[in-house]
Amino acid sequence: MEAAKLLQTCTCVVNPAGGLHEQSWRGQLKEFEAKLAASTAQWKLVVGHHPVYSSGGLHGDTAELQQYVEPLLRKYRVQVRLSFAYCD
C-alpha cells in the first residue's frame, strides 16, 4: 500500500504575529476540524503542546482541550494524540 494512503501530513500553523492575545483560538479550532474532516488518511496522529489528560501535579489536565479538542479527536477517529512538552 502506498504511504500516501496511510498517512497525510496536515499542519495547522499558529500565526505568531500580534502575540497571544490577538490569536483566534476559535479560528484555529475551525481550521483544525476542517483538516481532520478532509483527511482520508488511514491513520491520524495529532501532536500538540499541552496534554489533554495528565497526572502531573502542577498543571494536570487541560480542561479547554477536553471540552473543545477531544470531541473532534473522537469524531474524526484520531488514533494517537501526543503531547511533546510538560513543565513542572
Instruction: Please list the alpha-helical segments (H only) found in 1-88.
Output: 3-6, 25-38, 63-64, 70-75
Write down the pLDDT at residue 67: 93
Task: Locate the DSSP E strands across 4-88.
Answer: 45-48, 80-83
Q: Is residue 1 predicted with pLDDT exceeding 50?
A: no
* Nearest residue to 12 (alpha-carbon basis) of 26, 22, 29: 29
Interatomic CA distance for residues 17 and 44, integer angstroms: 29
pLDDT at 22 over 90: no
Average pLDDT over residues 12-23: 58
pLDDT average, residue stretch 58-71: 87
- Res. 86: pLDDT tops 60: no
- What pTM does this model have? 0.74
For the stretch 24-53, pLDDT in tens is: 888 889 989 999 999 988 889 888 888 888
What pLDDT score does 62 carry? 86
